[in-house]
Structure 1
Amino acid sequence: MTKQEFKKLFDQYFDAIRNYIYYRSGDADLATDLAQDVFLRLWEKQPDYHPKATVGLLYKMASDEFVSLYRRQKLELNYKNSLTFKIQEVSPEEELQYKELQQKYERALAGLSEKQRVVFLMNRMDGLKYHEIADRLNISVKAVEKRMKHALDDLKSKFNVK
């Protein structure tokens, strides 16, 4: 795809793609951000330019981006909802230490790559086995093992665990 073809495609379809995402999300800012991401990914992929096929690809990519974002948000919400602990009779100092540790854990999780975080949370929070994660993400068990290993290594290094 040439620069001129991409510019023409962007000028002609950006508003339509943004509206498509907006209709699904109800959030104008989110729709604009995702539409920009879609066009950026299209530029990075540099597919052969066939007008009808490329427009179809844009809509498919927009849908995939929206669904992916929705799944990430749902996963994050489930994770946050699962963090409620009931601690009885704790000192203010212990409560402060707990909150600091929880914030450190959340920052460490946020620092993981999306792929690592998804595998880690699916295993630790949802209790899924590696083969179940592989089936759901449509990847190999070895890929799940590798992502989990890197996630655990990153978390251990951030918490100075040996």
Structure 2
Amino acid sequence: MKLHSDEQLYQKVRQADHEAFDQLFDRFWKRLFEYAFKMLQDREQAEDVVQEVFVQLWENAPKREIQHLSGYFFRAVKYQVANVIRNQKWHLDWNTVQLEDILVTDEPEVGHNVVLLKVVEERIEQLPPKCREVFYLSKKHGYTAKEIAANLNISPRTVEGHLQRALKSLKADLEHMYILVLIFLYL
């Protein structure tokens, strides 16, 4: 069986051949798991997604003709991940989210961070001017509240008020957009 192509094994699976199914499982499980885990960042969910893909393959094999099995598997995993993300009740614990980690720096991030960084940048630009200035000085440039207060000729308490208002505004905006960003990134 190890010498059979994926498509040949699939034809045997269509005839309810358990050994062929096990061979396909062994060939694809690790790569599909890694793909799902990369998107979900949750071991248990990734395992469930891959298991569901294989269950559907087995159940639907007699009535489905698949030409490119590898492509089918990865599309099926992507679809299942999208379902998990859509169906999951997302609740963000904003106390654990560090906006400093996702703010634009001098060197742009790669991958999905670029999208999130653009969204955060847009939301920061919508802050009131003084609030935005205080936020940038604190989060992007690393100035303390005292340093910002001295530079802008305002009290440290006013600086803290601007920072709290900025963070509250950003957290409210981003909490609503987070699910959409995740779905967009992984579809």
Decide: shared fold, TM above 0.5: no
The structure where helix makes up a greater share of residues is: 1
Higher relative contact order (CA 8 A, sep 6+): 2
- What's the TM-score bracket when you normalise by the shorter of the two chains? 0.3 to 0.5
Rg bigger for which structure? 2
TM-score normalized by the length of structure 1: 0.42
